[in-house]
């Protein structure tokens, strides 16, 4: 998966999370929860990218 597709997936997940959170909480709580979720997704994407880079180094 290239970075463009991964980025689109992360943004899509973040927007869905924001919508779900806003439905059940106040505005400030929703913003904080959405930020936390988006940060977690971006950290996960970075970790996956690093893992792929390490695997490529080992393979070749």
Q: Map out the domains of the chain as residue ranges.
A: 3-59
The pTM score is 0.48
- How confident is the prediction along the chain (60 residues), in pLDDT tens digits per residue? 556 666 666 667 766 666 665 555 566 677 777 888 888 888 888 888 898 988 888 887
Predicted local confidence at residue 60, as pLDDT: 77
Environment class of 46 (CB within 10 Å of its CB; exposed 0-12, middle 13-18, buried 19+): exposed
Torsion angle of the four alpha carbons 13, 15, 16, 21, in this order, in degrees rounded to the nearest 10? 120
């Amino acid at each position: 998966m290239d970075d463009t597709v991964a980025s689109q997936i992360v943004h899509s997940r973040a927007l869905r999370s924001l919508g779900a959170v806003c439905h059940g909480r106040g505005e400030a709580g929703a913003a904080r929860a959405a930020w936390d979720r988006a940060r977690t997704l971006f950290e996960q994407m970075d970790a996956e990218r690093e893992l792929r880079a390490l695997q490529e180094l080992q393979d070749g």
